[in-house]
Amino acid sequence: MNGPTQLLIGGKFQDAQSGRTFPTINPATEKVIAHVAEADAADIDAAVKAARTAFSRHWRRMEARERAKLLWRIGDLIMQNADELGALETMDNGKPIFESRYIDIPSAAETFYYYSGWCTKIEGETIPVPGDFFNYTLREPYGVCGIITPWNFPLLMVAWKLAPALACGNTAVVKIAEETPLTGLRLGQLCQEAGLPDGVVNVVPGFGETAGRALVAHPHVEKISFTGSTAVGKEIMRTAADSLKKVSLELGGKSPNIVFADSDLDAAAKGAFNAIFYGKGEVCNAGSRLFVEKEIHDDLLEKLVQRAARLTPGDPMDPKTRLGALVSKTQMDRVLDYVETGKREGAVPILPGGRAGTRGYFVKPTIFDSADQSMKIAQEEIFGPVLTVLTFETTDELVEKANSTIYGLAAAVWTRDIAKAHRLAGELQAGTVWINAYNMLSPQSPFGGYKQSGYGRELGRHGIDLYTQVKSVWVSLA
């Protein structure tokens, strides 16, 4: 492991002021990969100071086209180092190298390329107000943005936030997840290599209760962008309330994936498989509730179980592996606990799952059939390769059930009836709806949650709104 393990503050990699470190573990081998510097409130303060100075001295004064070139260069450097970044991500998170090297890392680069284009296109408006006045708006950066990310897409989640924040002229302090700090630190190094002025990007691994909380509470952080669990999202809002910080939140989900009898069943079965087992099910928009129209229930499940039974966890570094290790022992225990809960609640484990092997946090795919709406496994986010199957007979009943969790991140509909598909797209309470598809995402299209899945929309032009504030300027023409 050659990547950086220290905090990046003001352009320099350095130890935490306390001198403390924490181990980061390869979940496939349970071995320590590296000891990483552990930021606490003192380091967060230093990072915010560096970001503040970089904002006022350099970044906000830089020509937008220069910023654009730097963002593009970051995208290039990510791609030039994609093999290394992919390997780091897989070692740290346990996801298959196929996913990290060919999906996560290129998607992170794409996000920087996309927002590079936005640097020169952030504009205000002129407004025809009454009287002898000229009124116009300016769209300005906030200043220092605090970015807090989870462990499931460690590099990509940083890219989703950092690229638009920088494009809009903000500087950043990035508190990466304690389970998976390695690619975020390497990205910090690539930002320096790309030529960003010192302090524009600061990367501070550490724990949520200490480093994360200090960042949210810091008086000179103007905005917090967070992706993680709904519980922590609420905690962040409470802490941010004291300083009335702007907050955007991307939180959990329990997304319904709906298959009608008139769909292409092979495509739907494949879609349902990918919806829950891609990324080990540790995906915020995982299709963890499969709603199946009653008359095709047996046919669809036969196809799905056939596929899922062949999916065995394997060495995440092997390019052929499609199911890796869960990120940590805590996460594995949590998922296995939900499997026991499902059995206790009376759902039928038609694919029983369970831990695979004794070394590494590998969990086999689990499918629960005959689940009931009121069960925990139908309401709570499990965040693992566990699917809950529910059956429906009418569309009204389906919509009511599909909308009946606290979440609203994503949903999918499989049908050949175009009118029905679009009608449902309107009725489902979700920030993203896929029709005859699942897991499609692009930096060009907005992403975010309804209800307790968060608020604010990342990506696309909506991402620009998250990292800018609007100023109205009045000029007397008298």
Is the CB of 218 or the CB of 401 nearer to ligand NAD?
218
Contacting residues for 20 by C-beta, under 8 A, at least 6 apart = 37, 38, 40
In which region does residue 199 sit, left (phi positive, over 0), alpha (psi from -120 to 50) or beta (all else)?
A: left
Could you give the string, one character per residue 268-287, with x where binding to ligand NAD holds by CB under 6 A and - elsewhere? ----------------x---
Q: Does 38 bind ligand NAD (CB under 6 A)?
A: no
- The catalytic residue among 89, 179, 250, 293 is 250
Say if residues 408 and 250 touch (Cβ distance below 8 Å): no
Q: What's the CA gap between 109 and 114, in Å, rounded?
A: 9
Question: Are 170 and 144 in contact, with CB atoms under 8 Å apart?
Answer: yes
Strand partners, 289: 256, 388
Closer to ligand NAD by Cβ: residue 229 or 243: 229
Q: What part of residues 218-257 is at the interface with ligand NAD (CB under 6 A)? A: 227-229, 232, 235-236, 250-253
**For the window 139-178, what string marks contact with ligand NAD as x by the rule CB under 6 A?**
---------xxxxx----------------------x-xx
What part of residues 374-393 is at the interface with ligand NAD (CB under 6 A)? 381, 383
Among 95, 161, 213, 451, binds ligand NAD (CB under 6 A): 213
Least Å distance between CB 451 and ligand NAD? 12
Catalytic residue, candidates 119, 284, 293, 458: 284
- Kindly give the pairing relationship between strand 289-293 and strand 386-392: parallel
Q: How near is the Cβ of 21 to ligand NAD at its closest, in Å?
A: 16
CA 350 to CA 368: how far, in whole Å? 6
When the beta carbons of 116 and 285 are compared against ligand NAD, the nearer one is 285
Output the six-digit token pair for 204. Answer: 């501070």
Given a contact cutoff of 8 angstroms between Cβ atoms, the answer to whether 144 and 221 are in contact is yes
Q: Which residues from 428-467 bind ligand NAD, rule CB under 6 A? A: 449, 454
Q: Catalytic annotation on 168?
A: no
To the query of whether residue 191 is one of the catalytic residues in this protein, the response is no
Minimum CB distance to ligand NAD smaller for 51 or for 232: 232
Site string for ligand NAD, 101-140 (x = CB under 6 A): ----------------------------------------
Q: Rule CB under 6 A: is residue 216 a binding residue for ligand NAD?
A: yes
Query: Which residue lies nearer to ligand NAD by CB, 324 or 449?
Result: 449
Least distance (Å) from ligand NAD to the CB of residue 208?
2
Query: What sign has the CA pseudo-torsion 109, 110, 112, 116?
Result: positive
Give the contact letters, 192-211, x = binds to ligand NAD (CB under 6 A), - = no. ---------------xxx--
Q: How many residues line the site for ligand NAD (CB under 6 A)?
A: 30
Which residues are marked as active site?
A: 250, 284
Under the rule (CB under 6 A), what is the footprint of ligand NAD?
A: 148-152, 175, 177-178, 207-209, 212-213, 216, 227-229, 232, 235-236, 250-253, 284, 381, 383, 409, 449, 454
